[in-house]
Chains A and B, each alone.
Chain A
Amino acid sequence: MKKYILLSIMTAALPLVFVGCATKAHYIQTGGRESLVTVNSINIQDFIQAANDATSDLLASGVLDKVANPPAVLAISRIVNNTGQQIDTDLLTKKIRVALLNSGKAQTTTTMGLGGTAEDPMAKGLQQEAEFKSDQKATRTPDFTLSGKIIQTIAKDGNTSQSTFSFQLSLTDAKNGLAVWEGEKEITKQGGRPSVGF
């Protein structure tokens, strides 16, 4: 009798086990609790968190308010990727730029870039044309440059692996080359390698 009951429960549960594994494609909130977390790579929620911390810290410092003609003008310098992952550093810098622009405290130049490369070549061309026609320099020199580094530190113990991602940022005064604000956000993730995989 017991065998029959057990058998019927198992038979009923078996399809549930297989059906339960299949996830139907659905939308989730970007960076929300349902976002996938992987130990060895930077997830979107990590970029959001690092950008939020940097922006909050920078705004709270009051450094951007000390320029002669507010809002401050920023130029994006090099963000070095020292992780084992290929990443587009704009995932970090763009969020900071948007947040700073929305705060009203800073604007970013798109006509000046690292090695003379403009982010927006058309805007640079139009700017140069305007300068040529009016015979006046219209370009506003950036007050600050933003540079940084993303570093990954890996640790392993048995089946447990750990990654720490350090987001280091520096805001340098373009006039004297001194770092007037520096921020570092560390995000550590730990996880075990599954012993049984499908």
Chain B
Amino acid sequence: MKTRILLPLAGAALLAVTGCRTSMNSIENAQKTGQRQMISDSRVITDGSLAKKVSFVGVNQTMTPGGFLKIQIELLNRKHSLQRFSYQFEWFDANGMQINNIVSPTVPDEIEGGESKFISSVAPTSACKDFRVKFIEN
């Protein structure tokens, strides 16, 4: 009787562990031509669970030809399973005032196990000098 109950349970547990397991290999050129302009960042972590799974590798910025600030953030999934999260960019002017942006979506995204991924955004106006990105686990 016990075996009849335990066997399906063990099967389900095995599926749970292995079924969602993903990992990613990658290859890139070793001698880089482009130089990323990395910037120092300030982090506020209130969801330790998400931070353990998806970590911030670094932030780099550039200016577009039209004079808009462009931000790129590198993320790394430290787990071996797909992680889903949402993020939203906020932009601030030289006085630290938030700039109202009609098209500022909460972007749903996902990252495979072990994957390194970039997310980026362009400031809505040339007056944007600073930014903040909010992350939340889905």
Interface stretch of the complex, out of A58-66, A115-123, A133-141, A150-158: A58-66
With an 8 A cutoff between CB atoms, is B64 at the interface? yes
Which residue among B70, B107, B136 has the maximum number of chain A CB atoms within 10 Å of its CB? Answer: B107
**Chain A: minimal CB distance from B127 (Å):** 9
Find chain B residues with CB under 8 A from A99 CB. Answer: 101-103, 124
With known contacts A60-B66, A65-B65, A65-B66, A103–B103 Cβ distance under 8 A: no
With an 8 A cutoff between CB atoms, is A124 at the interface? no
Contact pattern, B 107-126, Cβ under 8 Å of A = 1, otherwise 0:
10000000000000110111
With an 8 A cutoff between CB atoms, is A52 at the interface? yes
Find chain B residues with CB under 8 A from A55 CB. Answer: 103, 124
B107's nearest neighbour on chain A, judged by CB, is: A49
With known contacts A103-B125, A104-B125, A104-B126, A62–B65 Cβ distance under 8 A: yes
With known contacts A33-B106, A55-B103, A102-B124, A60–B64 Cβ distance under 8 A: yes
The secondary-structure label for the interface of chain A is helix
Find chain B residues with CB under 8 A from A51 CB. Answer: 102-103
Cα-based distance from A103 to B124 in the complex (angstroms): 6
Cα-based distance from A67 to B23 in the complex (angstroms): 47
Cα-based distance from A166 to B70 in the complex (angstroms): 24
Cα-based distance from A32 to B102 in the complex (angstroms): 13
Find chain B residues with CB under 8 A from A57 CB. Answer: 122
With an 8 A cutoff between CB atoms, is B22 at the interface? no
Find chain B residues with CB under 8 A from A82 CB. Answer: none
Number of A-B residue pairs at CB separation under 8 A: 64
With known contacts A48-B103, A102-B125, A103-B125, A60–B68 Cβ distance under 8 A: yes
Residues B126 and A98 in contact, CB atoms below 8 Å apart: no
Q: Total interface residues on B, using CB and 8 Å?
A: 20
**Chain A: minimal CB distance from B99 (Å):** 8
Cα-based distance from A33 to B106 in the complex (angstroms): 7
With an 8 A cutoff between CB atoms, is A95 at the interface? yes
With an 8 A cutoff between CB atoms, is A127 at the interface? no
**Chain B: minimal CB distance from A41 (Å):** 16
With an 8 A cutoff between CB atoms, is A105 at the interface? yes
With an 8 A cutoff between CB atoms, is B86 at the interface? yes
With an 8 A cutoff between CB atoms, is A31 at the interface? yes
With an 8 A cutoff between CB atoms, is A56 at the interface? yes
- CB contacts under 8 Å to B, within A92-119, are 95-96, 98-99, 102-105
Find chain A residues with CB under 8 A from B125 CB. Answer: 102-104
Residues B104 and A52 in contact, CB atoms below 8 Å apart: yes
Contact with B105, one of A31, A60, A64, A105 (Cβ below 8 angstroms) = A31
With known contacts A60-B66, A62-B66, A103–B105 Cβ distance under 8 A: no
Residue pairs across A and B with Cβ atoms less than 8 A apart, 8 shown, are A33-B136, A48-B103, A48-B104, A57-B122, A95-B103, A96-B103, A103-B126, A104-B126
